[in-house]
A and B are shown apart, each in its own frame.
Chain A
């Protein structure tokens, strides 16, 4: 279906079903129960899941396929956001033009940055992208204040011209919408104490994410994707094979920049605001974490990684010491205290610690990320059943060695 093979079609359908049912799946605990704070099914968070999923999918096209590690991708997300907000201020609150412009602007910006940065490789490339992103951040923060709003950032105001909206005689609303359908609008469904929220913005973003995911599958399976993987493995060989590697890496860079811009535009479409911190290097680092955590070079990994990190950021960080004490009240006092103290280190404000540890463990023990680990584990389990799979596992595990001769 959709020109994909069976496995990929199934994966796409699975992702589609999961995103469609996310308001249920992410809210497994009834409202008011003590576990309700683990519910991730509220609009703001669900939107972030899919939007950062898009960001990570795009990053994976660059890093996962070509192996070029960019430490500055947040710049493209930020540029996309600024482009979108200006579209909302000047033209219309409809999200479509905003998102289109954000993709175009981010694409052009990444063409410029990529053209320069890709003249170097390895760590030099990483530093160049980092330098560009930090420069963008610093400029957005200071000199470019007339365009970026400086530290406070930008928001649509009632006094903005919004030419198209005025022409069409729409009211002076400053709410983002899709032909009148407001992004912030939600419906709630009560069912036996469970509350499920369906948010327009989420479903718009999720739809865009599915398209982005589908396109990335096409890229992965195409001759173009094959060339990008070849860049990662042996660029020298590729050059002597008649392939001009520069434009390939640049194309991958621009595509991933456009994905970042798309994510930036969608973020604005959801919360209609932007600030320079979106371009800070920690934001670039975050997308690296997402991609690695989920599984670099795998299709679904980056989306999972993005979801996991955003979930931790929003849910784990809410668990404070008071809450822990409540949970472990059943324990004898000293034991409970110890458990609470230890857990408090990893939750609440300490959630970054958990993130850092998980990340390290993944890099050390699961270079393929969570998805890579799952696939390998699965293959091991079916080792006796499936001989060809078995062989693949083996060849994946043995490091490439040349047999000694003579």
Chain B
């Protein structure tokens, strides 16, 4: 069953056709990678899933509901969490607070003036947040200020924040960008571990083929705003169109 169904999505910025008739179908429990050379429209596509951009034409259905014209926070409440290219966390707050916020958002919805109870007396939410930190291996640092973490740890924290919401769909925008090989491997293990245990559907946008091929169940190749191939990793590897797109397009 498809969790996310993208049909005929096009998006134009002035004279640039960023997305041209994109079709995509992400299966429940799969890790679906979207790859493609720079400027292929990967980020534009992702932004159409999270409510930052609205496509000119086409539809994006998640779990049977249209995502078009819905605000980012509402999309998140439907069960879509995202990880940014550079980790977006709450730098001034402690790690525990960082994870508490999405947990409260999950429980209380988009807005609630929940001003009487004390955060430290909210046992259920707190235990949940602490268990997620434990799972991701940051429990020991729970009282540290998030801004002082290393980049790798920031990425883990961001992942913990997403996982604490128990999302149906997790969007990862170049989760290993700018990471060392060791950090990248650690992130791959992390994604494999936590993802598989919970059966979360994931969409990964990635440059790093090593990451893509170690994670993905299915790969869509995007070039100049169009999906030129969609298949399993093995078959994508041998696809001449993909090789052409990568060699022809601007290489990193």
Given a CB threshold of 8 Å, the question of whether A touches B is answered with yes
Which A residues between 326 and 340 are near B, CB-CB below 8 angstroms? none
Q: Which residue of B lies closest to A67 (CB)?
A: B92
Contact of B104 among A227, A244, A247 (CB under 8 A): A227
Cα–Cα distance between A251 and B122 once the two chains are bound (Å): 22
Q: Is B106 an interface residue (CB 8 A)?
A: yes
Query: Do A396 and B145 form a contact, CB below 8 Å, given A221-B118, A226-B119, A403-B151?
Result: yes
Cα–Cα distance between A391 and B145 once the two chains are bound (Å): 10
Query: Do A218 and B116 form a contact, CB below 8 Å, given A226-B101, A396-B145, A403-B150?
Result: yes
Contact of B119 among A222, A396, A399 (CB under 8 A): A222
Which B residues between 75 and 124 are near A, CB-CB below 8 angstroms? 76-77, 81-82, 84, 88-93, 97, 100-102, 104-106, 108-120, 122
How many whole Å from B49's CB to the nearest CB in chain A?
Answer: 11
Chain B residues whose CB sits within 8 angstroms of the CB of A1 once the complex forms: none
How many whole Å from B239's CB to the nearest CB in chain A?
Answer: 30
Residue contact B71 to A234, C-beta cutoff 8 Å: no
Q: Is B50 an interface residue (CB 8 A)?
A: yes
Query: Do A405 and B73 form a contact, CB below 8 Å, given A221-B119, A243-B101?
Result: no
Cα–Cα distance between A238 and B178 once the two chains are bound (Å): 24
Query: Do A225 and B180 form a contact, CB below 8 Å, given A242-B73, A243-B110, A391-B144?
Result: no
Indicate with 1 or 0, residue by residue over A147-176, a CB within 8 angstroms of chain B CB atoms.
Answer: 000000000000000000000000000000
Q: Is A237 an interface residue (CB 8 A)?
A: yes
Indicate with 1 or 0, residue by residue over B19-41, a CB within 8 angstroms of chain A CB atoms.
Answer: 00000000000000000000000
How many whole Å from A67's CB to the nearest CB in chain B?
Answer: 10
Cα–Cα distance between A399 and B74 once the two chains are bound (Å): 33
Residue contact B110 to A395, C-beta cutoff 8 Å: no
Residue contact B118 to A3, C-beta cutoff 8 Å: yes
Residue contact A405 to B93, C-beta cutoff 8 Å: no
Chain B residues whose CB sits within 8 angstroms of the CB of A218 once the complex forms: 115-116, 118
B: number of interface residues (CB 8 Å): 52
Indicate with 1 or 0, residue by residue over A226-245, a CB within 8 angstroms of chain B CB atoms.
Answer: 11011011101111111111
Q: Is A190 an interface residue (CB 8 A)?
A: no
Chain A residues whose CB sits within 8 angstroms of the CB of B63 once the complex forms: none
Indicate with 1 or 0, residue by residue over A210-226, a CB within 8 angstroms of chain B CB atoms.
Answer: 00000000110111111
Contact of A229 among B71, B81, B93, B152 (CB under 8 A): B93
Contact of A219 among B93, B115, B148 (CB under 8 A): B115
Indicate with 1 or 0, residue by residue over A290-322, a CB within 8 angstroms of chain B CB atoms.
Answer: 000000000000000000000000000000000
Indicate with 1 or 0, residue by residue over B182-206, a CB within 8 angstroms of chain A CB atoms.
Answer: 0100000000000000000000000
Chain A residues whose CB sits within 8 angstroms of the CB of B76 once the complex forms: 240-242
Residue contact B114 to A239, C-beta cutoff 8 Å: no
Residue contact B151 to A241, C-beta cutoff 8 Å: no
Tell me whether chain A's interface is mostly helix, strand or loop, or mixed. helix
How many whole Å from B155's CB to the nearest CB in chain A?
Answer: 10
- Further contacts, 20 of them, CB under 8 A, given A222-B114, A234-B91: A3-B118, A226-B100, A226-B101, A229-B93, A230-B90, A230-B101, A232-B92, A234-B89, A234-B90, A240-B82, A241-B105, A242-B102, A242-B105, A242-B106, A242-B109, A245-B73, A394-B148, A395-B148, A402-B154, A405-B180
Residue pairs across A and B with Cβ atoms less than 8 A apart, 16 shown, are A222-B116, A223-B100, A224-B112, A224-B114, A225-B115, A226-B119, A237-B84, A239-B72, A241-B101, A242-B73, A244-B74, A248-B111, A398-B148, A400-B147, A403-B150, A403-B151
- A residues at B contact (CB < 8 Å): 3-5, 218-219, 221-227, 229-230, 232-234, 236-245, 247-248, 251, 388, 391-392, 394-396, 398-400, 402-403, 405-406
- B residues at A contact (CB < 8 Å): 50, 71-74, 76-77, 81-82, 84, 88-93, 97, 100-102, 104-106, 108-120, 122, 143-145, 147-148, 150-152, 154, 161, 165, 178-180, 183
